[in-house]
Amino acid sequence: MSHTIPGGVWPTMITPFRNDLSVDYDALGPMVEWYIAHGVSGLFAVCQSSEMFYLTLDERVRLARETVRIAAGRVPVIASGHISEDPEQGLEEVAAILETGVDTAVLLTNRFGAPGDRTETWRSSLERFVARLPEEASLGFYECPYPYSRILTADDVAWLSDTGRFSFLKDTSCNTEVVCSKVKAAEQSDFRVFNANAATLLETLRCGAAGYSGVMANMHPELYAWLVANWQQLPAEAAALQDFLGTTAILEKQLYPVNAKRYMQLEGIPITRKSRVHTGRDLGYWQFEELLQFHRLSHRQAATLGVPQSPDRKGT
């Protein structure tokens, strides 16, 4: 049974690692506190940004459980961790995530068939899967681009809405028209559509998207939170901020999530830049400089809008 997910900003959380690449659960607390202090509406744990395809099931489950514990009801937590192609293993993963206390377990759209499968095949596979989950479990969907992208259609969203089982969609189409068609398809239900793309965010908010759930909320979530909260009352300021957010989101093309970890260091969070996805790789000198300048610009933008910020300081 679905329930209403609050609109706003839902960062796709990164995973902190120690120098030996073990998960640094001690750093998770300061990270969660930082997200909450910067105005997020909820936390999307154990997703692709979390490097979940490089985490064991035990690690995925513990990350979800610890995030729920630290958030302590101040914001809701959703989580995926659904990476297996085998349906039996996938059911084990989702059941384990549900037991952590998350508000919603998020399924991957590409786990229910191969690329090119017909819609009917995909829906049948999903129906069999969901039928084996507890009826009271709230479920969501993430159009994860790895290992391949399966973008839902508006008809898919209407069908999912009618089931009453789904409450969240992270859309990765990066297309305003596509996002808005899904919003319209779900408008009579509790199924809420969140845009993962910074450049199209304001236009999709205007057509009813519930908010933002994307990479850049790991760097300056307070600016996205301001946009979602104020775009109607302050349209000129919102348009100017959208230009800033859409332009600076090009940093997604840096060495992500290493760059997000560097930004968090600049915010004073005790986190390394270690990554299992990019083992042994780090940012180049010019990329450090880009992030320093981006960090300063973000603070200035926040100050212009009257948004509270962490002290501006260089991390390690």
pTM over 0.85: yes
Q: What pLDDT is stored for residue 4 in this prediction?
A: 83
| Domains of the chain in sequence order | 8-305 (3.20.20.70)
Average pLDDT over residues 268-276: 98
Q: What pLDDT is stored for residue 314 in this prediction?
A: 46
pLDDT for residue 316 is more than 50 = no
Q: Closest Cα to residue 68, out of 13, 8, 24?
A: 13
For the ranges 41-45, 113-117, 209-213, which has the lowest average pLDDT? Answer: 113-117
Report the amino acid identity of residue 70: I
Note the pLDDT tens digit of each residue in 68-85.
999 999 999 999 999 999
Q: Are 274 and 268 in contact (CB under 8 A)?
A: no
Q: How high does pLDDT run on average in the chain?
A: 95
Average pLDDT over residues 30-48: 98
Q: Closest Cα to residue 246, out of 280, 211, 202?
A: 202
Note the pLDDT tens digit of each residue in 234-243.
999 999 999 9
Calpha distance 8→10 (Å, rounded): 7
Q: Are 63 and 28 in contact (CB under 8 A)?
A: yes
pLDDT band at 3 (very low <50, low <70, confident <90, very high): confident
Calpha distance 140→285 (Å, rounded): 39
Cβ neighbours for 249, distance < 8 A, ≥ 6 positions apart: 198, 199, 215, 216
pLDDT for residue 312 is more than 80 = no
The better pLDDT of the pair 3, 306 is held by 306
Note the pLDDT tens digit of each residue in 145-192.
999 999 999 999 999 999 999 999 999 999 999 999 999 999 999 999
